[in-house]
Each structure stands twice: as C-alpha cells, then as structure tokens.
C-alpha cells in the first residue's frame, strides 16, 4: 500500500468516527439572534398531577425564552402556569392562592373549559387561557411571553364571551342609573371639579362631607372606568367632553 493510499484510508476512518457535537456546543441548536444575551421569562409550572406537569415542563425545558423555576424558587416567577383538566372548585382555590402568593401574572392551560367559568378565572387573576388540545410548544411559549409583556391570551370563543359580558355589565350596572361608561355621576363630577380647582384629597373630603377614603375610591373608580392614567388626565378628559 502506498503512502497516498494510507492517507486516504485514514481520512475515511476519521470521517466515520467523528464525534457528534454535544448539546449546547457551538454545533448544537441555534438560539435566535434576538434572544442572545437575554434571560428567559421566569416561569413556575403547577399541575393537578405529575404527568401533566412533566409534559409541560419537558416542552418548555427546550426553549431559551423560558427559565423554569424549582418549587423553592417559585416566588420569583414572572409567570405562574397552572395546568389542569377542568375548572373545578379545587382549581379555583389554587388560582386564588396563586394570586395572593405571587406578584407575577397567571396563565391557565385547561383540558375542558366552559364559557360559564370565565368570570371565575378573571376574578382569580388569570390573564391568559390555552386549551390543552392546542398547547404545543410554540403556543405555550407565546402565552408565556405575552403574559410577561403585560398582554392577555384567550381563545376566540372565550374572548367573544368576555366582550358579551362586558356589554351586559354596562347595561345592567350603568344603564339603570342613566349612565354610560363615558359619563359621570353628580358626585364624581363634583369631585373632579374640585380637583380641577387645585384641591387635594383632604380638602375635597371637607368640602363634600365625605371621608378621604371615599374621595380616593371615587376618583380611582373614574380613572379605572374611563381607562385614564391619573387625576390630571381625568380632569382633562372630563373638560374636553363637557362633563364638568
């Protein structure tokens, strides 16, 4: 065998025995450019049983957008994800405890969900819902990143139900008093006028004979209902529309 033949044989052998790259090495899965150098969203996963939890955890463990937390670290979670079969009373209690225990946002992955439970989950602080039949890896990550960005996620049929309920709330709670979402009661208008004149909370309370707590609550209700930022914004809004 010539030296040339020996060199060729060694090259073939080297190609056959080349070691596959380890996961995470330079030749491993690529991290999207926009995610490089950015930490993942801190996520705590809860479930009714170990099988449900393991399934979701295994899907999320592969994604650089997500940082999975252990049980002892759950208090740091930006997103708490609860995975269940159905919205039962036990699940509802779990959601209420989560709302009190965490400052992060809450998502629900549920097998069977009826629109009648919508009010319950909203009251429990759930900002995103995903049906388990649709919970593939990409949709789970989309739900988590949306929650981390202050957004909400909801199936189309549930979103329609939510809008219907808001409309019904307006008709039953406001129309009975001759109001719409963009008008003010006499008490609200009076307090906003005093704000416009430069009076603070204690002075408004003294002039209207209400407690300071009531004044704060009334002004907060105006700001929240009209989707405004603060008292000054509320005064400007009311004056532009001739409400005060």
Q: According to the model, what pLDDT value does residue 8 have?
A: 52
Convert the pLDDT of each residue in 54-84 to its tens digit: 999 999 998 999 999 998 898 899 999 999 9
Convert the pLDDT of each residue in 140-149 to its tens digit: 999 999 999 9
What strands lie across the sheet with 66-68, from one edge to the other?
Answer: 66-68, 41-47, 79-86, 105-112, 126-131
Tell me the Cα Rg of the chain: 28
Rounded to whole angstroms, how far apart are CA atoms 204 and 210? 8
Convert the pLDDT of each residue in 5-36 to its tens digit: 555 554 444 443 333 333 333 333 344 444 44
- Structure token pair of residue 239: 């004056």
Categorise residue 172: left if φ over 0, alpha if ψ from -120 to 50, beta otherwise. Answer: alpha
Q: According to the model, what pLDDT value does residue 172 have?
A: 53
Rounded to whole angstroms, how far apart are CA atoms 81 and 45? 5
Q: According to the model, what pLDDT value does residue 83 have?
A: 95
Q: According to the model, what pLDDT value does residue 108 have?
A: 95
CB distance 82 to 109 below 8 Å: yes
pTM confidence score: 0.54
| Residue 41 predicted with pLDDT over 50 | yes
**Of 241, 236, 234, the residue nearest 188 (C-alpha):** 234
Q: According to the model, what pLDDT value does residue 156 have?
A: 78
| Residue 122 predicted with pLDDT over 90 | no
Categorise residue 236: left if φ over 0, alpha if ψ from -120 to 50, beta otherwise. Answer: alpha
**Of 169, 164, 194, the residue nearest 181 (C-alpha):** 169
Convert the pLDDT of each residue in 147-206 to its tens digit: 999 998 888 777 776 666 666 655 555 555 555 556 788 889 899 999 999 999 999 999
Q: According to the model, what pLDDT value does residue 12 have?
A: 41
- Structure token pair of residue 60: 């999320």
Q: According to the model, what pLDDT value does residue 65 have?
A: 94
């Amino acid at each position: 065998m010539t030296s040339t033949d020996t060199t060729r044989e060694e090259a073939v052998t080297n190609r056959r025995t080349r070691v596959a790259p380890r996961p995470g090495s330079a030749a491993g899965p690529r991290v999207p450019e926009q995610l490089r150098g950015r930490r993942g969203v801190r996520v705590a996963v809860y479930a009714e049983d170990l099988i449900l939890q393991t399934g979701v955890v295994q899907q999320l463990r592969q994604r650089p957008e997500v940082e999975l937390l252990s049980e002892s670290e759950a208090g740091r979670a930006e997103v708490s994800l609860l995975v269940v079969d159905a919205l039962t009373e036990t699940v509802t209690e779990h959601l209420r405890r989560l709302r009190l225990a965490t400052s992060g946002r809450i998502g629900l992955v549920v097998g069977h969900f009826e629109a009648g439970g919508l009010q319950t989950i909203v009251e429990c602080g759930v900002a995103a819902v995903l049906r388990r039949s649709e919970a593939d890896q990409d949709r789970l990550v989309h739900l988590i990143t949306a929650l981390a960005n202050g957004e909400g996620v909801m199936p189309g049929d549930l979103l329609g139900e939510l809008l219907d309920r808001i409309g019904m709330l307006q008709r039953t709670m406001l129309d009975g008093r001759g109001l719409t979402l963009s008008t003010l009661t006499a008490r609200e208008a009076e307090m906003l006028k005093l704000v416009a004149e430069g009076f603070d909370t204690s002075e408004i309370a003294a002039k209207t004979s209400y407690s300071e707590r009531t004044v704060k609550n009334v002004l907060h209700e105006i700001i929240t209902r009209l989707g405004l930022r603060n008292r000054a914004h509320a005064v400007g809004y009311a004056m532009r529309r001739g409400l005060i």
